[in-house]
């Protein structure tokens, strides 16, 4: 698991559970929007989503996607360890 995903089995389970909760929350939001405003917004939302996916693919193919990856944070020195 660590080699394939870069995290422990527990980390993989946590990530899946977290993503599944986000997935459910998204459907809950869609249900609320469509029950209050109707389904007329759905085609426009799908079009915007497809455009965003295409832009992300284009950016990643040009190498810009790497700039958005979160790297391990380097701890900055605190207190007396700070050099001016």
Highest mean pLDDT of the ranges 34-38, 57-61, 68-72: 34-38
For residue 41, is it within any domain?
yes
For residue 58, is it within any domain?
yes
Local confidence band at 12 (pLDDT 50, 70, 90 cut-offs): confident
Smallest Cα–Cα separation from 65: which of 49, 73, 53, 51? 53
Please give the Cα distance from 82 to 84 (Å, whole number): 7
Structural domain of 44: 2-64
CB atoms within 10 A of CB 9: 10
Check pLDDT > 80 for residue 29.
yes
For residue 81, is it within any domain?
no
Local confidence band at 77 (pLDDT 50, 70, 90 cut-offs): low
Number of domains in the chain: 1
Mean residue pLDDT across the chain = 81
pTM to 2 decimal places: 0.53
What is the pLDDT, as a whole number, of residue 3? 76
User: Alpha-carbon dihedral of residues 28, 34, 37, 38, nearest 10 degrees?
Assistant: -170
For residue 54, is it within any domain?
yes
């Amino acid at each position: 698991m660590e080699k394939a995903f870069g995290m422990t089995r527990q980390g993989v389970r946590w990530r899946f559970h977290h993503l599944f909760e986000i997935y459910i929350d998204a459907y809950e939001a869609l249900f609320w929007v469509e029950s209050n405003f109707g389904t007329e917004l759905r085609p426009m939302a799908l079009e915007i989503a497809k455009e965003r996916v295409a832009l992300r693919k284009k950016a990643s193919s040009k190498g810009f996607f790497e700039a958005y990856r979160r790297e391990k944070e380097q701890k900055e020195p605190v207190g007396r360890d700070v050099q001016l």
